[in-house]
């Protein structure tokens, strides 16, 4: 039988790893015993390996998956000591964490260097004149501008309002413009628009000309054959034919 000294790792790195692993196992063992004493019959260790344990390094409750990965933590947050809760979400394509503390929700990849700023939902109020809920997409790079939606309620019975700091898009409406040159005076001339790809069951089109002479030089505009993917614009002018821009909107309901 070999001496105990001969059974130690030959290099300092392996020895340090074994000591760290032993310390971690001892912390988890102590946490499990404290948890069992404090919550007997309330939380049970699953046979599959998933477990809930107290963090031996601080007053936090940890939840582990079957493979030993920490998937949730409840306790003081690391920034200001307030109450905090985070969960580990989907692992693909980026492992994500969700935080809840201090009236703010934040999302970011597990890798701190993946994005410059994570997404967030912030509640802000001065307890006197307004209350805001601010939703932000975050930023991938430091020079990016995040998309934001601000929902505001003013005190004193004023109407609430929403502000969108981004290009507003939807899958059930489209807007644009088309230039039409009439074939002759007082003759309706058409131009087609296509590739709309709108959602909905019924579709409605609206058109207006870009002109300072409505009713005189430009005597009429219209839109027909409105569908989810296309429509036909019409323009009528009096006098010499002049190229005219017609702005349009199609809405699907």
Name the 3-class secondary structure at 131: strand
C-alpha–C-alpha distance, residues 230 and 10, integer Å = 76
Confidence band for 81, pLDDT divided at 50, 70 and 90: low
pLDDT band at 141 (very low <50, low <70, confident <90, very high): very high
Quote the tokens at residue 2.
Answer: 């070999």
Non-local (6+) Cβ contacts of 62 within 8 A are 31, 52, 53, 54, 55, 70, 72, 73
Whether the per-residue pLDDT at 226 is higher than 90: the answer is yes
Tokens of 113: 């260097």
Cβ–Cβ < 8 Å for 250, 205: yes
> Taking the chain, what is the end-to-end CA distance rounded to the nearest angstrom?
83
Q: Alpha helices of the chain — where are they, by DSSP H?
A: 12-38
Higher pLDDT, 97 or 116: 116
C-alpha–C-alpha distance, residues 148 and 145, integer Å: 9
Cβ-contact 144, 138 below 8 angstroms: no
Residues ≥6 apart with Cβ < 8 Å to 11 = none
In this predicted model, which residue has the larger pLDDT, 35 or 195? 195
What is the per-residue pLDDT for 204?
A: 96
Phi and psi based region of residue 95 (left: phi greater than 0; alpha: psi -120 to 50; beta: remaining): beta
Rg (CA), the chain: 32
- Using pLDDT thresholds of 50, 70 and 90, give the confidence band for residue 30: low
**pLDDT for residue 150 is more than 70:** yes
Q: Which residues contact 205 (CB under 8 A, 6 or more apart)?
A: 223, 224, 226, 231, 248, 249, 250, 251
> In the chain, what percentage of residues exceed pLDDT 90?
44
The owner of tokens 């019924």 is 202
Q: What does the DSSP 8-state code read for residue 9? A: -
Among residues 160, 142, 140, 141, the alpha carbon closest in space to that of 151 is found at 160
* pLDDT attached to residue 170: 86
| Mean pLDDT lowest among 100-104, 132-136, 153-157, 245-249 | 100-104
Highest mean pLDDT among 13-17, 76-80, 82-86, 123-127: 123-127
In percent, how much of the chain has pLDDT > 70? Answer: 71
Single pTM value for the model: 0.50
- Across 98-102, 103-107, 150-154, the highest mean pLDDT is recorded for 150-154
Average pLDDT over residues 36-59: 52
Spatial distance between the Cα atoms of 251 and 253, rounded to a whole number of angstroms: 7
Q: Residue 162: which pLDDT band, with cuts at 50, 70 and 90?
A: very high
Q: Which two tokens stand for residue 6?
A: 């001969």
Q: What is the mean pLDDT of residues 193-212?
A: 95
pLDDT at 125: 84
The DSSP annotation for 119-157 comes to EEEEEEE-SSSEEEEEEE--BSSTT----EEEEEEESTT
Q: Above 90 in pLDDT, residue 166? A: no
Report pLDDT for 44.
43
For residue 195 the two structure tokens come to 């590739």
């Amino acid at each position: 039988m070999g001496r105990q000294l001969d059974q130690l790792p030959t290099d300092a790195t392996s020895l340090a790893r074994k000591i760290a692993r032993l310390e971690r196992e001892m912390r988890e063992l102590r946490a499990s015993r404290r948890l069992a004493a404090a919550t007997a019959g309330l939380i049970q260790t699953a046979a599959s390996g998933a477990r809930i344990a107290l963090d031996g390094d601080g007053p936090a409750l940890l939840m582990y998956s079957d493979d030993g990965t920490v998937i949730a933590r409840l306790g003081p947050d690391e920034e200001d000591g307030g109450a905090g809760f985070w969960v580990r979400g989907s692992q693909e394509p980026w492992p994500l964490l969700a935080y809840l503390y201090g009236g703010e929700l934040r999302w970011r990849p597990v890798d701190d260097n993946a994005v410059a700023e994570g997404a967030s939902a912030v509640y802000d109020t001065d307890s006197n004149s307004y209350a805001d809920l601010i939703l932000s997409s975050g930023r991938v790079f430091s020079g990016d501008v995040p998309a934001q939606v601000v929902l505001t309620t003013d005190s004193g019975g004023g109407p609430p309002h929403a502000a969108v700091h981004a290009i507003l898009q939807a899958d059930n409406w489209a807007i644009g413009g088309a230039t039409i040159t009439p074939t002759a005076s007082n003759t309706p001339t058409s131009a087609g628009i296509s590739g709309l790809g709108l959602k909905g069951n019924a579709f409605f089109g609206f058109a207006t000309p870009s002109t300072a002479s409505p009713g005189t030089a430009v005597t009429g505009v219209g839109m027909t054959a409105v569908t989810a993917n296309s429509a036909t614009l019409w323009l009528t002018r009096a006098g010499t034919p002049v190229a005219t821009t017609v702005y349009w909107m199609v809405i699907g309901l």
